[in-house]
Each structure stands twice: as C-alpha cells, then as structure tokens.
Amino acid sequence: MRRSQLFVKTRRQTPADEEARNARLLIRAGFIHKEMAGVYSYLPPGKMVLDNIKQIIREEMNAIGGNEVLMSTLQNKELWEATNRWDDKEVDNWFKSRLVSGTEVGIGFTHEEPLTNALKHFVSSYKDLPVYPYQIQTKFRNELRAKSGLLRGREFLMKDLYSYSRSQQEHDEFYEKIAGAYFKVFSRLGFSESITFRTFASGGVFSQFSDEFQVLSHIGEDTIYVDKAKKIAVNKEVYSDEVQAKLGLNKSDLSEEQAVEVGNIFPLGSKYSDALGLYFTDENGHKQSIIMGCYGIGISRLMGLLAEHFADDKGLVWPVSIAPFKVYLIRLGSSPTVVEAADSAYEQLTRAGVGVIYDDRDASAGEMFADADLMGIPVRVVISEKTLISASAELKLRTSKEPQIVPAQALAQTLEKQLQN
Amino acid sequence: MRRSQLFVKTRRQTPADEEARNARLLIRAGFIHKEMAGVYSYLPPGKMVLDNIKQIIREEMNAIGGNEVLMSTLQNKELWEATNRWDDKEVDNWFKSRLVSGTEVGIGFTHEEPLTNALKHFVSSYKDLPVYPYQIQTKFRNELRAKSGLLRGREFLMKDLYSYSRSQQEHDEFYEKIAGAYFKVFSRLGFSESITFRTFASGGVFSQFSDEFQVLSHIGEDTIYVDKAKKIAVNKEVYSDEVQAKLGLNKSDLSEEQAVEVGNIFPLGSKYSDALGLYFTDENGHKQSIIMGCYGIGISRLMGLLAEHFADDKGLVWPVSIAPFKVYLIRLGSSPTVVEAADSAYEQLTRAGVGVIYDDRDASAGEMFADADLMGIPVRVVISEKTLISASAELKLRTSKEPQIVPAQALAQTLEKQLQN
C-alpha cells in the first residue's frame, strides 16, 4: 500500500487523555483511536494487526477440530436466568438494554448459555459428541475502571472456544490438546515457550485449578512462581503450602516473576449443560451429562501486550508474524531515477507477496525514518541517489542498529529470507 | 471438511417460531440459529457464507481506495448530541445502555459521528483528502417489529464506507466510482447487471435523491418503476409527474417490478463534518467544509436474500462464489474400495483447493442427497461401487437435473472447470 493512500498519520506528542503505555504508543502510531475509557476503534494498520492475530488463532483452533461460529451480541435474558447469571448481583459487569417492547436484553460478555442452548438442536446422542465450537467476537464488560489501554477493555475482541465432551476422560484429553495449541499460538505471535508458562490459577467450583497462560514480561501485572526446570508455574493468588505440596514443588526452586495473562482454559463440569437441559444418550440408552470446558484468548489484549512488551524508545516493534506491513519502503529524493527505482521496488515486492508500505510522500528523511520506527515495521528499505550509484538498496531490521546494502535486483529474495528468520 | 467434524445437522421440519422463508431455510440447513426476533447466530456453514460475502465486498472496496477500519460498538453520547442524533425523539431505534458510573452509552447503529470525530486527528489540509474509510461491522437497530428473518434484523452485519471529499465535484466523481464498484459486488454475488438497478430513492436534506441498488426478485418488498432500455429505475415512493419529467422518463416505457434493496449510497453534504468541526484548509489557506457520502451494503441481509431468492423446493441454492463448500462429496457404501476411493477423492480435491464437504457418515443415500440439496452446495459428487466399476464418479450440479459421469482421475480438473462457469 502507498502511504499516500493510508489516511492515518503518526503523532509526535503523547495523547493527554491516555494513561496506558500500550494505548499511547498505538494512538501515536495511528493504529487505534480512543472512543472512551476502555473502548477503542481500530484504524487501518491496527485492523491489520488484529486480523493477523485472528488468522493465527483460527488456524490453530481449526487444526484441533474447532468449528467457527458467530454468536449474537444481544442476549436473551431467559437463558441467563436458567444458569443464575442474569442478576447484576451475580454478574456485576453486564451491559444491558431494552427492546422497544420493554423486554430486557443483555450485551454478551461470554457465550456459554446461548451456545449450549443452540446445541440442543444438534446434540442428543453419543454419536454427536464431542464438539468444539468457537468464535472470534467482540465482547462487552462493564468494568468499573478501565485504565490499562487494550489490556482491559469494556469492549474487546476475544476468541472463545467451548468443548462439549462425553466423559471426564474425553474432556481431559481435549483440555491437554488445546493447551498444546495455545503454546503454538503464542509462539507464532512472538512469545516463545521459554517465556510462556501454563500456570495453576484459581479454579472455581468444578476443579481446584484453572490454567492461565502467562507470559513473563516487564509490564506484567500478575505475579507467578515458576519452576523453570520443571516448567511448572503457580499464580501467587493460589499459592499456599498445601498447593506446594500437592504439586511437588520446592520453594527454593521457584523464582518470582512478573507476567501477563494471555489466555486461560477452564473446566466447567456440567454446570451449564445441566442447567440448560443439554444431555446425551449413551451407547446403552442412558441419559448422561455433558462435560464442558471454555478456552479464551483476548485478541485485542494480545495486541496491546505485543505493542507494549516489544516496544523500545523509538516506538512499536511488531513480530513479523503480525506486523501490518513487513517492509517500510522509503524513497529518498524525488529525481525521476529515484522515483522510478522506488516504484519498481514497490511493484517487485508487492508481486512477490511481501506486504509493503511505500512512503511516497515528499517528507523529510527524518520524518520517514521516525515513522517507520514508530509504526514498528520489521524491515526498513531505503532507495536514494546514493544507493542507486551501486544499484542497491539499504535494508535495516527494526531490531538491529546497522543497515545492510543489498543489490536492488535481489531485494525481494533477500527480504523473503530475512523475514523468515 | 469431513461432515463428521461439523457439529450442525439439517432438520426436516420447519421451525415453528420463524415466519420468514429465508430464516426457515437457513435454520433447517443448519446455517443459523435464532436467538430472538431479528437476532440470529451464525453456525459454521453460515459463518462461511458471511465470510465469502465479506471478502468480495472487501476486495471491491479496497480496489477503489477504501481503507478498512473497525469502529467501536459502544458510542459516546456527546458526539451524537453534536449532530442532534442522540435523542430518542430524533432517532427512534437506538439501543442504549449505561456504564457502571451511570453515564449513558449508545450501541452503534451507524458510524458517521465517531468516524468524523476520529478523522480530526488526521485531516486538516487539502493534502489529507479525499479519504474513504470503511468497515464491516455488526450494527444494532431497535426495530419495533422484526419478522423478515435476515432481511431486517435488530442485530445485523453491514459494510459501511464513508467518503470525505474537498469539493462537490470530487464527491460526485467518487460517488459514481463506488456505484460502479457496487455493481461489481452484486454481480460477483450472483445478481447480474440485468436484474440489478441503481434506483432513484428519497434523498433527505442534501439532495433530492439517494441511490438504492435494487435486485428484481419474486420476494421483493419494494416496488420500483424500471425503464429497462435506459437502465433507469425509480422507487415508487418518490415517483411523481415532476420526477418523471425531471428524469426524462415516459410512463409507457416503465415496467412495475418487485425488488429487494441490497445497497444504498447517500450524499450527506457537510452536515456531519460541520457539526463535529472537521474542516480542511485549501491551497489558499482558507477553511473549507468537507463533503461526505455514506455507502452501505447489508451483508447479513444479502445472505438472507441470496438464500431466499435462489432457493427451490429442495432447499438452498448458493451461487458458487459464496457457497460454504463448492462440492458435497458422497460416499455410497462402506466397502474398503469405496471408502478408499472416496477418501482419495476428498484428499485430491482438498489439495487442489476446491472447498469440499465430505459426507463420511454412514447415512442413507436419500439422507445424504437431501442434505446436499438442502444445504445448497453447487456440485454433488457421488462415489459408489457402481461408479467405481468404470473408475468414475457421478457429478451433478445443484441447478441441473441430470448427473454426469466423469473419470475419477480427472475429478479435480473437471470440477475446477465446472465451478468457473
């Protein structure tokens, strides 16, 4: 895409009405716009980052048998009364509204109830199970305070998968399978297994623990205890001598770390399926309860974390896998030779399928370099009178200090290699 | 995808709580689930149809310079007060809610206000214009009655593009350009230019007319007058002797037709930009108003229309471009030879990039044939003991009565050709 075709601009000043560093950076870089505390709109490069994160998650969910759906936002009160989650005393972060007729409706914050209800049309026999519907959808939570930018929104994008299994064993097997898929997702997003920990966290009614996926980060808001040799982590919130003994941990092997929760998986037992009347008939004709689990990944939260975690003093630093563009192409100078060479490089890269943003404005070198850095594009390529003397282009990774000189002819090939590493 | 991996099933009976034919068919085929009147969830094949429609629209909007964004659903009251569209007396189909603090928020039904406000960060000079942001997003309208299935929802998916131009001439040029893009979209979706008419409709404050895109259809709810030779159409609602004279029409050349509105484009003048304080400075340093237009396509409405318009007495009939799967592969019989041949055909087609649903259940032939028809998959392929005698497969288009016999080896090639026509 040509920069002149992109309507957003970067800003040098930090927005006055924003406290969170992730949102400040994303606003300055033209990726998001703040509508109110905890509510953001996504501008073109921000939308591209979201789409790239979504695609990675979608691929990994499909690979383990996920079926993508899109549930409604408006919620039927009756379904939530059946599970005792309608009353504001039970769930304190509903947004609610009313139909013209006066009937109350909810604005969805999660989807166990409607999905379980819909499945009553499709699940009755053991032959119909297990099933793994998931969606990527905007959720709404009426948070009292929303000061962490994209890390805790009132309106946010989430992937939520729900599993429906015939037995505890079948449930447990899938639970481990999706845990594996989660590590793949986070690793593809730039959080390797060496800094991502499946972490024992508070469980609720059906099991002692749930599992959080925590990424070690200097911006971490959670504290976890990690046994790095055993790859076991425990959220400080649930840590006790009893838990230590149960998990076979040694206090001296644990390090205390700051971390950010990027996903969670949760056993639900048959609470929702029983309450909504979703059962199955087994091989012997007996009616049985269905064991559920829910599995969330906060997509807009991940975007905020990725922005803040990798940023440096010049701005954003996107991992290649989710960067809105892989290459920021700068044309220095406006002589016909330079314009022609830059145009041709742009076409060459676009044809090769390398996502490129081409700064075709007549801006100063400093302005363009600063934009490439602030927007966090993985590779900067400069074409100028000087590089053209040797029929070359200057290439610099966002994460390295030194530029390299590469033959202009081999630009696409060189970039493809660089971007794979 | 294997049918056994898809959690939805078809239903023989018509759902009792649904009046609209489009929704009845889509519910029976397992594409959607009704949450309440005018509110539907999209099950896997329905989600695929939506995605296919979205992708076509996205490509055509990008081709004319559109920049995709994703605006928030929660709306800041102040922006809508500035344009006098907050009060329920002015706009009677808002859904509204409240933050915990008590502050009222809107649930977005359109996005002129927040988008125009966001652009104040990016547009100040003539050099920053024109811009064409668009989004594909769920909208909410508190309709008093919602009885037309996906044709008129309380929650629905829409593409809305907004143009911001420096002059009436620049606006008019883009207005014609997007009208052309709309014809391309509808044609790719299965509504050719011979049945799609740009139709004069009521304009509002800024111009006498707006433009509706109407598709001639036996399920049409609108009445339009069409001069087929001149390719001019007028909505009955605005037709008068004066309009007839102004457009140079002859009553005798007009035919009265039933049609369904699939899109509209609307001149907005500078009402919203002026009210929200978005101006630009021209080449001479003078402050000028910005001319806006808005351009909508109802995506879930189109899905409903496509379902109902093309359906026959056996069920849905999707155009190839948006069908959830292109091929419904049926394995008749469970002998190792048949299973092996069908598995191999499934792999061959999947490798060739042909979207295929493989009915690997041990269901009756009648059940599988009925499902292929009800779900509206463009091509049905059968592999059985009988076809294997001649090393072939039986192929039948959803829209034709007679099957063809094709060599099993050439299946992928034959299908690629068939699907292009």
Parallel, antiparallel or unpaired: strands A255-269 and A209-216: antiparallel
The full 3-state SS of chain A, as one line of letters, equals: CEHHHCCCCCCCCCCCCCCCHHHHHHHHCCCEEEEECCEEEECHHHHHHHHHHHHHHHHHHHHCCCEECECCCEEEHHHHHHCCCCCCCCCCCCEEEECCCCCEEEECCCCHHHHHHHHHHCCCEHHHCCECEEEEEEEECCCCCCCCHHHCCCEEEEEEEEEEECCHHHHHHHHHHHHHHHHHHHHHCCCCCCCEEEEEEECCCCCCEEEEEEEECCCCCEEEEEECCCCEEEEHHHCCHHHHHHCCCCHHHCEEEEEEEEEEEEEEECHHHHHHCCEEECCCCCEEECEEEEEEEEHHHHHHHHHHHHCECCECCCCCCCCCCCEEEEEECCCHHHHHHHHHHHHHHHHCCCCEEEECCCCCHHHHHHHHHHCCCCEEEEEEHHHHHCCEEEEEECCCCCCEEEEHHHHHHHHHHHHHC
In this complex, do A7 and B65 lie within 8 Å of one another by their Cβ atoms? no
* d(C-alpha A293, C-alpha B230), whole Å: 60
> Is domain B19-310 classified as CATH 3.50.50.60?
no
CA distance A4 to chain B (A): 9
* Chain region(s) in chain A for CATH 3.30.930.10: 3-310
ipTM: 0.96
Show the low-confidence residues of chain A (pLDDT under 50). none
Per the CB < 8 A criterion, the answer to whether B67 and A45 are in contact is: no
Tallying the residues shown for chain A, one arrives at 421
User: What homologous superfamily does CATH list for A3-310?
Assistant: Bira Bifunctional Protein; Domain 2 (3.30.930.10)
Nearest Cβ partner for B44 among A47, A68, A128: A68
Residue in A4, A34, A74 to test binding to B, most B beta-carbons within 10 Å:
A74
Q: Which residues contact B46 (CB under 8 A, 6 or more apart)?
A: A70, B26, B30, B31, B32, B303, B324
Contact between B222 and B233 (Cβ < 8 Å): no
Contact at CB, B73 and A138, closer than 8 angstroms? yes
Q: Which residues pair with B372 in a beta bridge?
A: none
Distance CA A117, CA A108 (A): 15
- Chain A residue numbers with beta carbons less than 8 Å from the beta carbon of B8 are 122
Report the distance separating Cα A108 and Cα B344, nearest Å.
43
Q: How far A106 CA lies from chain B's nearest CA (Å)? A: 10
Q: Tell me: the pLDDT tens digits for B237-288?
A: 999 999 999 889 999 999 999 999 999 999 999 999 999 999 999 999 999 9
CA distance A178 to A134: 12
Contact assessment for residue B210 and residue B266, using Cβ atoms and an 8 Å cutoff:
yes
Residue B418 is predicted with a pLDDT of 82
A104 vs B contacts (CB less than 8 Å): none
Instruction: Say whether B97 and A97 touch across the interface (CB within 8 A).
Output: yes
Give me the residue from B44, B67, B114 closest to A67, CB to CB. Answer: B44
**Closest-approach residue (CA) in chain B for A163:** B7
Q: Count the Cβ atoms, other than its own, within 10 Å of residue A212.
A: 25
Residues 6+ apart with CB under 8 A from B268: B112, B206, B291, B292, B293, B294
Radius of gyration of chain B (CA): 25
Q: Which of B42, B100, B121 has the CB atom closest to A70's CB atom?
A: B42
- Could you count the other beta carbons within 10 Å of the beta carbon of residue B358? 24
Question: What does the mean pLDDT of chain B come to?
Answer: 95
DSSP B222: E
B114:A40 CB<8 A: no
Q: Is the Cβ–Cβ distance between B299 and B158 less than 8 Å?
A: yes
Q: How far is A245 from chain B (nearest CA, A)?
A: 41
Cβ distance A67 to B5 less than 8 Å, yes or no, reads yes
CA distance B233 to chain A (A): 34
What number of residues does chain B have?
Answer: 421
The superfamily (CATH) of domain A327-420 is Anticodon-binding domain (3.40.50.800)
State residue A421's pLDDT score: 61
| Cα–Cα nearest to A139, from A100, A182, A108 | A108
Contacts of B128 in chain A (CB under 8 A): 7, 9
pLDDT at A203: 80
Q: What is the pLDDT of residue B356?
A: 96
Give me the pLDDT at residue A19, please. 92
pTM above 0.90, yes or no: yes
Q: What is the pLDDT of residue A206?
A: 65
What is the least distance, in Å, from the CA of A248 to any CA of chain B?
39
Nearest by Cα to B207 from B253, B148, B270, B136 = B270
Nearest CA in chain B to A100: B144
CB contact under 8 A, B99 and A67: no
CB A136 within 8 A of CB A299: yes
Cβ contacts of B132 on chain A, cutoff 8 Å? 7
Residue ranges of chain B whose pLDDT lies below 70: 204-206, 421
What local confidence, expressed as pLDDT, does residue B71 receive?
Answer: 98
The boundaries of every CATH 3.40.50.800 domain in chain A are 327-420
Encode pLDDT of B157-180 as tens digits.
Answer: 999 999 999 999 999 999 999 999
From B158's Cα to the closest Cα of chain A, the distance in A is 14
| CA angle, B216 then B221 then B227, to 5° | 40
Tell if the CB–CB gap between B72 and A122 is shorter than 8 Å: no
Numbered ranges of CATH 3.30.930.10 in chain B: 19-310
Contact B41 A68 (CB under 8 A): no
Judge contact between B160 and B178, C-beta under 8 A. Answer: no
- Nearest CA distance, A26 vs chain B (angstrom): 14
Q: How far apart are CA B288 and CA B282, in angstroms?
A: 7
Which residues from chain B sit within 8 angstroms of residue A50, using beta carbons? 70
Report the alpha-carbon distance of residue B309 to residue B371 in Å, rounded.
Answer: 19
Q: Name the β-bridge partners of B298.
A: B158
Beta bridge partners of B311: none
CB contact under 8 A, B47 and A68: yes
Report d(CA A66, CA A175) in Å as an integer. Answer: 13
Say whether B97 and A107 touch across the interface (CB within 8 A).
yes
Best of B50, B67, B141 to disrupt the A interface (most A CBs within 10 Å) is B67
